[in-house]
Chain A
Amino acid sequence: MAREHIEENLYVSGHTACAGCGQSMAVRIVMNAAGKNTMVANSTGCLEVFSTKAPETAFGLPWVHSLFENSAAVASGIELALKQQGKLDSTKIIAQAGDGGTGDIGLQAISGMLERGHDILYVCYDNEAYMNTGIQRSGSTPFYANTTTSPVGKRSVGNPTIKKPMVEICAAHHIPYSATASVGNPKDIEKKVKKALSIRGPKYLQIHVPCPLGWRSDPSKTIEIAKIAVQTGLYPIVEYEYGKLANVQKITPKPVEEYLKVQGRFSHILKNKEALEAVQKVANQNIAYYNLVSQ
Chain B
Amino acid sequence: MKKFIEGSWAMADAAKMCRPQVVAAYPITPQTHIVEHLAEFVANGELKAESVNVESEHSAASAVLGAQIAGVRTFTCTSSQGLLLMGEVVFCIAGMRLPVMMICANRAISAPINIWNDQQDSISLRDAGWIQVYAENNQEAVDLVIAGYKIGENAKIMLPIMVCVDGFILTHGMETVDMPDQELVDKFLPPYDPPYKLDVNNPISFGLLGDPTVYLENRYALHKTLEEVLTLLPKVGAEYKQLTGRDSVKLVEEYKTADADTILVAMGSVCGSIKDVIDMERQKGNKVGLLKIVCYRPFPKEAIKKVLDKAQYIGIVDKDISLGAEGALYTEIKALADSNKKVSGFVAGLGGRDITVKSIQTIIESTKKEVNRCKFIDLKQELLWDEFKVA
Q: Which residues of A contact B (CB under 8 A)?
A: 6, 36-39, 41-42, 48-49, 52-57, 59-67, 69-70, 72-85, 91, 108-109, 111-112, 115-116
Chain B residues 250 to 275 lying within 8 A of chain A, measured CB to CB, are none
B205 at the interface (CB under 8 A from A): yes
Once the chains bind, are B211 and A62 in contact (CB under 8 Å)? no
A109 & B59 in contact (Cβ 8 Å cutoff): yes
Residues of A within 8 A of B208 (CB): 52-57, 65
> Which of A84, A91, A116 sits near B54, CB closer than 8 Å?
A116
With A64-B205, A77-B24 already in contact, the answer to whether A84 and B49 are too (CB < 8 A) is yes
B69 within 8 A of A: yes
Q: How far is the CA of A6 from the CA of B200 in the complex (A)?
A: 13
CB atoms of B206 and A65 under 8 A apart? yes
- Cα distance A91–B258 when bound, in Å? 60
For B68, list chain A residues within 8 Å (CB).
77, 81
Nearest CB in chain A to that of B91: its residue: A67
Question: Nearest Cβ in chain B — how far from A99, in angstroms?
Answer: 20
CA distance A39 to B71 in the complex (A): 13
> Apart from A63-B204, A73-B58, what 7 extra A-B contacts exist at CB < 8 Å?
A57-B205, A61-B200, A64-B198, A73-B60, A78-B66, A85-B72, A91-B200
Smallest Cβ distance from A190 to chain B, in angstroms? 20
Contact A39 B200 (CB under 8 A): yes
Cross-chain pairs A/B with CB under 8 angstroms, 6 sampled:
A6-B203, A52-B205, A65-B207, A77-B22, A80-B52, A91-B200
Q: Bound state CA distance, A115 and B53, in angstroms?
A: 11
Residue of B nearest to A52 (CB): B208
B97 CB to nearest chain A CB (Å): 12
Partner of B70 from the list A49, A57, A85, A108 (CB cut-off 8 Å) is A85
- A contact residues around B58 at 8 Å (CB): 69-70, 73, 108-109
Instruction: Give, as a whole number of angstroms, the nearest-CB distance from B48 to chain A.
Output: 8
Q: Is the CB of B200 within 8 A of A62?
A: yes
B residues bordering A, Cβ < 8 Å? 21-22, 24, 48-50, 52, 54-56, 58-60, 62-72, 74, 88-89, 92, 96, 198-200, 202-211, 214
Closest to A74 in B: B66
**With A111-B55, A112-B54, A116-B54 in contact, do A77 and B65 touch (Cβ < 8 Å)?**
yes
Alpha-carbon separation in the docked complex, A37 to B74 (Å): 24
Closest chain B residue to A61 by CB distance?
A: B203
Pairwise interchain contact A62-B204, C-beta atoms closer than 8 A: yes
Q: Which residues of A contact B56 (CB under 8 A)?
A: 108-109, 112
**A63 / chain B contacts, CB cutoff of 8 Å:** 198, 203-206
Count the A-B residue pairs with Cβ separation under 8 angstroms: how many? Answer: 158
Chain A residues near B96 (CB, 8 Å)?
66
Closest to B59 in A: A73
- Name the CB-closest residue of B to A42: B207
> Which chain A residue lies CB-closest to B93?
A66
Question: Closest residue of chain B to A56, judged by CB?
Answer: B208
Tell me if B198 and A77 are in contact (CB < 8 A): no
From A83, which residue of chain B is reached at the shortest CB distance?
B50
Q: Which of A37, A78, A79 has the most CB of B within 10 A?
A: A78
Contacts of A70 in B (CB 8 A): 58-59, 62, 65, 89
Distance in Å: Cβ of B371 to nearest Cβ of chain A? 44
Whose C-beta in chain A lies nearest to the C-beta of B60? A73
| A73 adjacent to B63 (CB under 8 Å) | yes
Contact A109 B198 (CB under 8 A): no
Residues of A within 8 A of B64 (CB): 77
Q: Which of B50, B198, B204, B210 contacts A84 (CB 8 A)?
A: B50
Pairwise interchain contact B62-A77, C-beta atoms closer than 8 A: yes
**In the complex, A83→B50 CA distance in Å?**
8
Chain B residues within an 8 Å CB radius of A79? 66
Set of chain A residues within 8 Å of B200, measured between Cβ atoms: 36-39, 61-62, 91
Which residues of chain B have C-beta atoms less than 8 A from A75's C-beta? 66
Q: What A residues does B67 contact at CB under 8 A? A: 77-78, 80-81
Contacts of A54 in B (CB 8 A): 208-211, 214
Chain A residues contacting B54 (CB-CB under 8 Å) are: 73, 76, 112, 116
- Please determine whether A81 and B65 come into contact, CB atoms closer than 8 angstroms: no
What 8 pairs between A and B have smallest CB-CB spacing? A77-B66, A112-B55, A73-B62, A77-B63, A81-B70, A73-B59, A74-B66, A57-B205
- Taken together as a complex, chains A and B put the C-alpha atoms of A122 and B115 apart, in Å, by 36
* A66: contacting residue among B89, B199, B214, CB under 8 A: B89
Least distance between B19 CB and chain A CB atoms (Å): 10
- Cα A74 to Cα B68 in complex, Å, equals 10
Which of the residues A37, A67, A116 comes within 8 Å of B88, measured between beta carbons? A67
Give the docked Cα–Cα distance between A108 and B55 (Å).
Answer: 7
Residues of B within 8 A of A111 (CB): 55
- Would A66 and B209 count as touching, CB distance under 8 A? no
The CA of A151 and the CA of B69, in the complex, are separated in Å by: 42
Chain A residue contacts of B22, Cβ below 8 A: 77, 80-81, 84
A80 (CB) vs chain B CBs: closest residue: B50
Residues of A within 8 A of B92 (CB): 66-67
A210: shortest Cβ distance to chain B, in Å? 24
With a cutoff of 8 Å between Cβ atoms, the chain B residues found around residue A48 in the complex are 207, 209
**A6 contacts across to B, CB distance below 8 A:** 203
Question: Are A76 and B59 neighbours in the complex by a CB distance under 8 Å?
Answer: yes
The smallest C-beta distance from B35 to any residue of chain A, in angstroms, reads: 15
In the assembled complex, the Cα of A237 lies from the Cα of B69 at a distance in Å of 35
Taking CB as reference atom, which chain A residue is nearest B96?
A: A66
* In the bound complex, CA of A69 to CA of B202 (Å): 27
- A80 to B65 alpha-carbon distance, docked (Å): 11
A68 to chain B: closest residue by CB: B88
A72 to B56, CA, bound (A): 12
B50: chain A residues within 8 A (beta carbon): 80-81, 83-84
Pair B209/A67 contact, Cβ less than 8 Å: no
Please measure, in the bound complex, the distance between the C-alpha atom of A115 and the C-alpha atom of B54, giving whole angstroms. 10
Question: Which residues does chain A contribute within 8 Å of B52, judged by CB atoms?
Answer: 76, 80, 116
Q: How far is the CB of B160 from chain A (nearest CB, A)?
A: 13
